Amino acid sequence: MQTSNPLLFNWESKFQLPPFDLIKDYHFDEAFKEAFSQIELAIEKIANQANLPTFENTIEELERSDGLMNKVASIFANLASSDSNSKLEELQRDLAPKWAKMDSDIKLNKKLFARVDSLYKKRAYLNITKEQLRVLELYHLSFVRSGAELKDIKQKKLKKILQRLAELGTNFTQNLLKDERDWFMSITDEDLIGCPQFLKDAAREAAQERSINGYIITLSRSLIVPFLQFSPRRDLRQKAFKAWELRGANQGKTNNLKIIQETLLLRQERANLLGYKSFSDFKLETEMAGSPDKVTELLMAVWKPARQAAINDAKKLTEMMNADGTIGDLTPADWRYYSEKRRASEHNLNETELKPYFQLDQMIKASFYCAKKLFNLDFHQIDAPMYHPDVQAWEVTRNNEHVAVFIGDYFARPSKRSGAWCSRFRGQSSMDKNQRPITVNVCNFAKAPKGQKSLLNFDDARTLFHEFGHALHSMLSNVKYPYISGTSVARDFVELPSQLYEHWLSVPSVLEKFAIHAETNSPIPKPLLEKLLEAENYDQGFSTVEYVSSALVDLAFHTETPPKDPMMKQKEILDQIEMPPEITMRHATPHFAHIFSGDGYSSGYYSYMWSEVMDADAFEAFREENDPFSSKVAHLLEKHIYSAGGSLPANELYMNFRGSMPKVDALLKGRGFLEC
């Protein structure tokens, strides 16, 4: 078709990058209309063809059917989360149920399922490759789990449920973004007495971004967390922390509690329609864990020592607070402040001394350096239009051959949702041609004032490495079919490549090379580096309790009867596990985007810990070689983990790499809990 819409013509740039400088919000309406039309015609053609079903004329054609939709939707989804506005949000609300309807129309198409089912039933006699067999089995499973075998009445009911869930997830996300975007606390020079200069600079930069004079604290994690760490003003810490906790629970249009209640009810109804006792039983069937019981077993094995460690730490922090002249109980708004003081006292380590050594640009280079050492990848910055002036892009090559394009979007801004994530503008496949990926990492680091270098804390640097591990999983993908490309793996396996990559940040030779002081350009002193690495497990009780409590609430929400009052249910679950009152969930229910913005991590927030059991064991393979960059282990790691996508079940991929599955002891040892 002839059109001036840049979303609808072939991109002729060197890497076929989206022409961000030409794409306008109004282009999406026409592009999505055409994309929906193309899918509808393609599905009708596949389902109604006279030829007997073959892998090529059914499964491969299904793989081709959504080419334009993937192209347009990937751009839209990235912009809607990274640089949103009212027009994109309106379109997002309109599209969510349409996408759900489209997916249901495909999966519940009787003629189409008959073709897929026919191939599946005679799969043992088909002359197809192992990869094709895997794709066929996954397609069939997806159809069945979407209701293809249900009677018409139940199918119609399921269809309505899925469309409504899509609407609810979008509304949840937009409410949360609005709360995070709208709230800020104006403060003065006097309010910042006792705070480090980097926090003052970040607060000033946040104010300028909103055209406000002076300083503000926002709900961006990169700003509110250091404020809670360093501000001696308990009243301001409590005010900021309360706003942080109330995201999604404020009175008014952005309150998420009714959305949560309806979401849980509909998920349970969906599971029951498909023959499952609970949504967790349905969701976990295809994951490595397999069942809620196995997840509970893992989480409780970690919860007990983590809780005890947190209780021990809380006593020490309370004593410090009381000695400081504040009488009473330690609160969640106090923990980070006194924990930072304790770290400075016990480890002779403080953020102000450490942070200048963690320049954002240097940590990006460090992540690239490790990818070069492990996988022989090179990164060359390219000059191409991006969707925001802060966004950077690199061509990724190996032996001078193109591998991927990597895009980095690192700074917080009001138009971006909170958190950090990896997504893609194009996935990898070699079905018709060698299509190489375009992958993006999105973070929310505090931006330095103009002319200054942006600094990270060690946790920020770990986040950068984590997301880059996801990016490598996407960029190194080497499969034929889009359906199993890159990060298209079990949810409790997808965090393995990312969490494993975090280990290389702590390799001394990496820090000695890239932890360079922002002002003096001197490398991190060896004594300071040793103190940093010795303190890596500091405050693990706090961080583990934060995380595991969230995972247990998620699991209970989706295993038990949906609650009439989600907040009462949250309290009940936390009371049952005897949650320390000095700590809150990392993601309280009203802003638990992992599980309520969509189905992605619903009943699956445990995935990070499940993967951590594997990543602790996986890095041990390098230790066994006495070389964190062992070429032998790196080759196996790429072959069986980073490049394999979902070409085999996750447990087989890991077994092929390591030879056996690890036990939880590897995680407990890594977090320093074996002695608890």
pTM of the entire predicted model: 0.94
Same domain membership, residue 316 and residue 267: yes
User: What's residue 376's pLDDT?
Assistant: 98
Residue 613 confidence (pLDDT): 93
- Residue 666 pLDDT grade (very low, low, confident, very high; cuts 50, 70, 90): confident
- Decide if 606 is inside a domain: no
For residue 672, being part of any structural domain is answered with no
| Residue 335 shares a structural domain with residue 365 | no
Confidence check: pLDDT of 542 > 60: yes
Specify if 412 maps to a domain.
yes
Last residue of a domain, one of 594, 612, 645: 594
CATH number for the domain including 561? 1.10.1370.10
286 and 363 in a single domain? The answer is no
User: Of 227, 245, 263, at which residue does a domain stop?
Assistant: 245
User: How many CA atoms are closer than 13 Å to the CA of 211, on its beta-carbon side?
Assistant: 0
Task: Provide the pLDDT confidence category of residue 297 given band limits of 50, 70 and 90.
Answer: very high
Q: What CATH number did the domain enclosing 59 receive?
A: 1.20.1050.40
Looking at the predicted structure, is the pLDDT value of residue 401 above 70? yes
Which pLDDT does position 464 carry in this prediction? 98
- pLDDT, residue 91, reads 95
Across the strands, what pairs with 359?
455
Kindly report, residue by residue over 75-117, the tens digit of the pLDDT: 999 999 999 999 999 999 999 999 999 999 999 999 999 999 9
Predicted confidence (pLDDT) per residue in 569-612, tens digit: 999 999 999 999 999 999 999 999 999 999 889 999 999 999 99
Pair 472, 575 in one domain: no
Tell me whether residue 516 is in a domain.
no
Same domain, 136 and 10: yes
Confidence at residue 663, expressed as pLDDT on a 0 to 100 scale:
87
What CA–CA distance (Å, rounded) separates 252 from 249? 9
d(CA 265, CA 651): 32
- The answer to whether 479 and 496 have CB atoms below 8 angstroms apart is no
CATH number at residue 366: 3.40.390.10
Q: Is-contact 542 583, C-beta < 8 A?
A: yes
Instruction: Give the pLDDT band of residue 675 (cuts 50, 70, 90).
Output: low
DSSP 264-322: HHHHHHHHHHTT-SSHHHHHHTTSSS-SHHHHHHHHHHHHHHHHHHHHHHHHHHHHHHH
Q: C-alpha angle with apex 136: 131 to 141, nearest 5 degrees?
A: 125
Tell me what the pLDDT averaged over the chain comes to: 95
Q: Kindly state whether residues 119 and 201 are assigned to the same domain.
A: no
Confidence bin at 428 (pLDDT 50/70/90): very high
Is there a single domain that holds both residue 267 and residue 369?
Answer: no
Q: Are 220 and 412 in contact (CB under 8 A)?
A: yes
Q: State the average pLDDT over residues 480-499.
A: 96
Residue 95 burial class via C-beta count within 10 angstroms: exposed 0-12, middle 13-18, buried 19 and up: buried
| Mean pLDDT on 219-240 | 95
Identify whether 85 is part of a domain: yes
pLDDT per residue as tens digits for the range 607-654: 999 999 999 999 999 999 999 999 999 999 999 999 999 999 999 999
3-state secondary structure of 646: coil
Residue whose pair of structure tokens reads 């930069």 in the numeric block: 205
> CA-to-CA distance for 72 and 75, rounded, in angstroms?
5
Categorize the per-residue pLDDT at 433 as very low, low, confident or very high, splitting at 50, 70 and 90.
confident
| Model pLDDT, residue 671 | 85
According to the model, what pLDDT value does residue 570 have?
Answer: 97
Range of the domain at 194: 183-245
Instruction: Show which of 482, 510, 525 is a domain's final residue.
Output: 482
pLDDT tens readout for residues 339-351 = 999 999 999 888 8
Which pLDDT does position 676 carry in this prediction? 44
> Does 161 reside within a domain?
no
Residue 214 resides in a domain: yes
Same domain, 90 and 34: yes
State whether 323 and 287 are in the same domain.
yes
Look at the chain and report how many structural domains it folds into: 4
The helix, strand and coil proportions of the chain, stated in percent and rounded to the nearest 5, come to 60, 5, 35
Whether 80 and 118 share a structural domain = yes
**Do residues 305 and 380 both lie within one domain?**
no
Residue 522 reports pLDDT greater than 50: yes
- In 316-391, which ranges are E strands? 378-381
Report pLDDT digits (tens) over 364-382. Answer: 999 999 999 999 999 999 9
Q: Are residues 131 and 101 in the same domain?
A: yes
Q: How many helices (H) and strands (E) does the chain have?
A: 27, 7
- pLDDT (tens digit per residue) in 139-168: 999 999 999 999 999 999 999 999 999 999
Say if residue 513's pLDDT is above 90: yes
Higher pLDDT, 209 or 406: 406
The enclosing H or E element of 91 equals: helix 86-107
Question: What value does the mean pLDDT take over residues 61-66?
Answer: 96
pLDDT-based confidence at 1, cuts 50/70/90?
low
In a domain, 282, yes or no: yes
